[in-house]
Amino acid sequence: MKEHKIILTGTMGAGKTTAIAAVSEIPPIMTDVTNNDHTVDKALTTVGFDYGLLTLDNGDRIRLFGTPGQARFRFVWSVIAKNALGLIILIDNSRPDPLADLAVYLDGFSTELATMPCVVGVGRTETHFYPGVEQIAAALERAGRVFPVLPVDVRRSEDVVLLIDVLLSQLEADLL
């Protein structure tokens, strides 16, 4: 049995808290408060971090940490990411410029990404077609990054588990 710490990041409303609540076996620890940022239509927003725990079919335990989405809390990203094994970036395809959002996280986690595997989950692709998975993969390639990109609905636990599985399979591939 192995234990892995995984970080989930992405813009405000991308679904970090939702994703952790969808898969956690324990009541997730949340630090959500009333949202006063009216640029995003949402009742609550995370001001600290989210935490959840799950056990994969192979017995490995995953400790999932979600970052706060608001840019003013960017200073805590590297604190939360300490000793993490991998990073999941959630992109909200309904936002005005998802490719610019992606660039923010590639930049903000550039130190971690030098050594850590990463997977990108793209949400709301069924209602917002551009940029699709291909365009996001192409943008990653232009940035010199080759990470798997998957369409996801983080309200579905299977989709969140798939993101984790794809992330961990990169680690296993590195060990071969």
Residues found near Mg ion in the complex (CB under 5 A): 16-17, 46
Q: Does 136 bind ligand GTP (CB under 6 A)?
A: no
Of 50 and 112, CB closest to Mg ion: 50
Of 2 and 155, CB closest to Mg ion: 155
Q: Does 124 bind ligand GTP (CB under 6 A)?
A: yes
Shortest reach from residue 18's CB to ligand GTP, in Å? 3
Of 26 and 175, CB closest to ligand GTP: 26
d(CA 52, CA 50): 7
Shortest reach from residue 76's CB to ligand GTP, in Å? 12
Contact positions vs ligand GTP (CB under 6 A): 10, 12-18, 42, 45-46, 68-69, 123-124, 153-155
